[in-house]
Amino acid sequence: MMNVTAGRFSDLEEAVACLATAFEEDPITGFLLQSGQGYKERVTHFFSLLMRARLALDMPVLVAGGAGGISGAAMG
């Protein structure tokens, strides 16, 4: 069973990995962050900064997951 809950700092690494994978081939994010060599690291860093800022400012971050861990995240 999957649950959607408010994200926490302890969810950061796993949630960011999900987001980076989800946007791995996104053309707009690829354009903005320069797809190609090192893109995975840049997109991971981008989502890490974004999620950290949103959590610090008490802005919405949602994570979806279950017994197997986090399988998705949303910020908006």
- Calpha distance 21→40 (Å, rounded): 8
The tokens 């959607």 sit on which residue?
A: 4
Q: Which residue has the higher pLDDT, 76 or 62?
A: 62
Which tokens hold the place of 71? 């399988």
For residue 45, the model assigns a pLDDT of 98
pTM listed for this prediction: 0.91
**Whole-angstrom distance between the N-terminal and C-terminal Cα of the chain?**
24
pLDDT score at 76: 82
Domain ranges of the chain: 3-75
Homologous superfamily, domain 3-75? Gcn5-related N-acetyltransferase (GNAT) (3.40.630.30)
Enter the DSSP assignment of 9.
G
pLDDT tens digits, 9-40: 999 999 999 999 999 999 999 999 999 999 99
